[in-house]
Amino acid sequence: MPAKTGAEYIERLKRANNNVYIGGERVDDVTEHPAFKNVIQSMAKLYDMQYEKPEKMLYDSPTTGDKVGKTFMLPKTIDQLIERREAIMEWQSFTKGVMGRSPDYLNAEVMTMEAAYDFYGQDNPLFAENARKYAEYARENDISLTHTLIHPQVNRAKIQAEQKDANVALHVVEKNDDGVIVDGVRLLATQGGITDEIMVFPSTVKKAGEKDDPYSLAFAIPNNTPGLRYLSRESFDYGMNSYDHPLGSKFEEGDTIVAFDHVLVPWDRIFILENSTICNQAFAETNAVVHMTHQVVAKDIAKTEFLLGVVLTLMDSIGIDGFQHVKDKGTEVMLTLENMKSHLFRAEHNAKLDKWGMMTPDFEALNAARNWYPRVYPRLAEILRILGASGMMGIPSYDDFASDEIGPILHRAMQGKNVEGFERVQIFRLAWDLTMSAFGSRQTHYEYYFFGDPIKMGMAYFDQYDKEKYKDVVKDFLKQENITKPSAINSGMNV
């Protein structure tokens, strides 16, 4: 079947009737619930864009010939890699990079399963075939996915088997002819319950060993599978108009705790089972981490472009763009953007075919970008807040401007250098929603922890970095100086 439309995406959610809870109550229809309906409409727009720009967003399926989503495309050349990224950027041009789990993110993981399926067959050849078939199924049916990676934060100093309640985390309960029964809780599924299916990923932070094996698994199942429930945090879409909440009213994805109550996972949906070593290898060995990071860096570029646009528009609206310290802050954002673009360019143009036959970007460039951006994004948000100053708090609502009594007063009082009051406040509300509202605060938090704890990531980056060649440069330089060690030092050491 060809790529789906927005209407088909919504209809699938209605039919699925996923078990989603918010505010202590089960949601009857996520497509109509105020916490979810607006982001669902935004997701629907993404799927409609595939047909609005088919030359950019669709390609011929290698198995059926149907027009399917290009974000599933397995690149074999650098041109195809760039073509796939350009399809990603079409979606990011709509979301402005503020949807961390737009469909292209997990489509990158699925795409790698199409090529690297043999990796999953190390324990059982069935799992390799499962991975290959699932990649094809997801592509041909344009499956939308959420995913979950980590265990509940109970006692981070202990492995799961040594927790006071060792069964709280998702684990294998039993195996039977139909599949594997799993039970427990996983965190943290963004867009949980508003997609077709969930992928339970292998965590990359498990200590290899048999005690971790019951918690070491990877599979994919429909979101309406019996016993599967999504427990959503409170929504940051407050049902306000798009003037008051220009981003939160469209792109509030939601985050959920995922509860598995003796859920049956069929054998044909399992990719890894009770093997912590394979779990730890999965992302790196299949190059899933590379292709997913490729998507993330593209998203980060789109987000930084948008944030820079907001910074420049805000500057101009109140006439501060001529001040030295203001220009310097704008330059910080510009340098961030150009750095990210450079990382992406290097990654794509240094790409090579991997052992699975995928044209895979240069991970050195992408790894640097994914370690750097979480550290710098909070500063970008801070710059926007600093430039807005008190104006970020003096932001009347649409209803205030619509009031016959106070609207004219506000329209005059809130005017800027070259914009009227209503328009200037619209700019500042956008800046506020990007950085200071509940939605905006989540953006900063989400980016900081996008790939995990930045400190742990930095330690891993330091440990794997090729340091010897730089130390050798210094050693060679010092040798060339040919300086004789003073005799006083040698005699002193013999005392």
Residue 103 assigned to a binding site: yes
Residue 148 assigned to a binding site: yes
Residue 313 assigned to a binding site: no
Residue 104 assigned to a binding site: yes
Residue 186 assigned to a binding site: no
What does residue 259 show for φ and ψ, rounded to 5 degrees?
-110, 125
Residue 360 assigned to a binding site: no
Residue 154 assigned to a binding site: yes
Residue 293 assigned to a binding site: no
CA 65 from chain centre, in angstroms, equals 30
Residue 31 assigned to a binding site: no
Tokens linked to 236: 């940051």
Residue 434 assigned to a binding site: no
Residue 156 assigned to a binding site: yes
Which has the closest alpha carbon to 106: 148, 63, 161, 75?
A: 148
Tokens linked to 411: 């329209």
> What does DSSP say about strands 145-148 and 197-200: parallel, antiparallel, or unpaired?
parallel
Residue 269 assigned to a binding site: no
Residue 190 assigned to a binding site: yes
Residue 204 assigned to a binding site: yes
Q: Which residues does the annotation place in the binding site for substrate? A: 101-105, 147, 203-204
**Residues annotated within a binding site:** 101-105, 147-149, 153-156, 190, 203-204
Binding residues for FAD, as ranges, are 147-149, 153-156, 190
